[in-house]
Structure 1
């Protein structure tokens, strides 16, 4: 089965991302993205598939994935009613630290680490125990402290690379649709730039250089979502960020993120997040 392209949603003031996930279970589709990923399992267990590798994961699992390496994590077993799936995930682009950064003599160890990341690396639990608190602190770090935290993580990973296990086979090559990645990147860029405006299928199909009907089928095949669902997902994600980071009213945020009515915004938001926008703001408000 060909992996789906996933859009990793970036803020305008972020060169790399760290996100925490607290879910009933891990159940993500088989997917890939152009970003490097570092995933640390805080709670939960199940199957981990990376390229042609299928293995088990449990608490403390720490895996580094190179760009465009298809993967998924799936919870297995029923467990107790209080069982959760929690993870910390870091995403960065190869160019996040600037063009030519990895070629600096001082970065030789880090460059070697990234050179083997395309096969996927699973690190020793000792390394995971060092990295997890650093990833947790990065969520709230800002400015140079945030950058220094990332570099500290890279150093720990580089020093632990000798004991890390490569996941995919030596000859493995991802069967990703690179044309789909390029085409959908144009679509995503356009959607981000025009989320506050009314968006239509003919308009987006033109960006993709496809007919309306062909793009409608293509969007569903590549992303697993209809165009309407995709647009709503991106708008809700932007609304979440605005709810947390500003004091704008819910109605203002609704219209700024492209919803044509407050009632529609509330309905779509509740369907996506399981709570009203005001409740989301209360739970995630940054002091």
Structure 2
């Protein structure tokens, strides 16, 4: 069984993403993504699948899933039929966690957690209870409150006596699906790897006049296939994603530097200042000069884009679920 690639997006201005999932039943959705995932499943019984690990779970189930490890939970029933089944999911990148460990000695134990987490980890009942006690903070409207709660939880988990889940072969060389099939996690021709190559190229060279042919060559895909993959997993077209990268870069420079707006536009990849002004206005709701004045007046950038709701799931898996349930 081929796992679905999930494109996890961490919003601008955030270091991590929290997802609050409430369902009558947790469906089997075999998937993977390049981020670490910490999931606390509550009021639920069923089976847990992480790599080649399969086991029953019940009650408060707290698990760390490493990057690109296929996984899913599939419930059979709620513990309390009057309440929904709940999953509190935290996504974060390994690079971010390692940077925190490098710059802050208080978080040095994060490196230990990442190293131990290679096969996936199931944490103790005490650790599950400690995370459950912080659910209100994890779901707080303020990103900095959520971040502080996540950092405290991760440091606590680094010292927990957790149970490894997947076998060494599952997290070193291959990913084993629940039906017994084996899939290479970093196979060069895999859909996830192709898409990752394009996203990496866009992240590194967004300021250059990139042509679609260069992106197709990086992914070894036709233009039509690249467009289909991108919309399916990222939730928008290549052009729209590239514009977002450029506008986000420009917004940061407007608040972090005193560069002239024309210089910022050029460094962001816009060859025409009028076009930059139009696109910035469309994306942020104000001109670049007004954006800068707002920051100088109030000391923070205006919140011109809505923060994704904690209940919003990744577009790729949401569309997959809808396709499977539509008649």
State the TM-score bracket (shorter-chain normalisation). Answer: 0.5 to 0.7
Is structure 2 residue 182 aligned with structure 1 residue 184? no
Structural mapping, 1:8-157, within 5 Å: 8-76=8-76, 82=82, 84-97=84-97, 99=99, 101-102=101-102, 106-140=106-140, 142=142, 144-157=144-157
What are the Cα deviations for residues 233-280 of structure 1, in whole angstroms up to 9, with x where unaligned? xx9xx9xxxxxxxxxxxxxxxx97xxxxxxxxxxxx9xx79xxxxxxx
Q: Is the 8 A contact 1:110 1:154 kept in 2?
A: yes
- Tell me the secondary structure at the aligned position of residue 126 of structure 2: helix
Once the 2 structures are TM-superposed, how far is the Cα of residue 71 of structure 1 from its aligned partner?
0.5
Once the 2 structures are TM-superposed, how far is the Cα of residue 36 of structure 1 from its aligned partner?
0.8
Structure 2: gaps (5+ residues): 176-183, 204-211, 245-281, 284-314, 320-327
Distance (Å, rounded) in 2 between the aligned partners of 1:228 and 1:31: 12
Distance (Å, rounded) in 1 between the aligned partners of 2:78 and 2:149: 36
Once the 2 structures are TM-superposed, how far is the Cα of residue 35 of structure 1 from its aligned partner?
0.7
Once the 2 structures are TM-superposed, how far is the Cα of residue 108 of structure 1 from its aligned partner?
4.2
In structure 2, relative to structure 1, the CA distance for the partners of 1:18 and 1:79 (3 Å cut) is: closer
Once the 2 structures are TM-superposed, how far is the Cα of residue 25 of structure 1 from its aligned partner?
1.7
Distance (Å, rounded) in 1 between the aligned partners of 2:75 and 2:13: 33
Q: Is the 8 A contact 1:41 1:60 kept in 2?
A: yes
Larger Rg: 2
Once the 2 structures are TM-superposed, how far is the Cα of residue 204 of structure 1 from its aligned partner?
8.1
Distance (Å, rounded) in 2 between the aligned partners of 1:131 and 1:171: 30
Distance (Å, rounded) in 2 between the aligned partners of 1:124 and 1:94: 22
Once the 2 structures are TM-superposed, how far is the Cα of residue 93 of structure 1 from its aligned partner?
0.3
Is structure 2 residue 169 aligned with structure 1 residue 171? yes
Q: Which runs of 4+ in 1 moved over 6 A?
A: 78-81, 189-192, 201-204
What are the Cα deviations for residues 4-28 of structure 1, in whole angstroms up to 9, with x where unaligned? 3211122111111111101222124
Normalised by the size of structure 2, how large is the TM-score? 0.56
Q: Is the 8 A contact 1:191 1:231 kept in 2?
A: no
Distance (Å, rounded) in 2 between the aligned partners of 1:167 and 1:121: 6
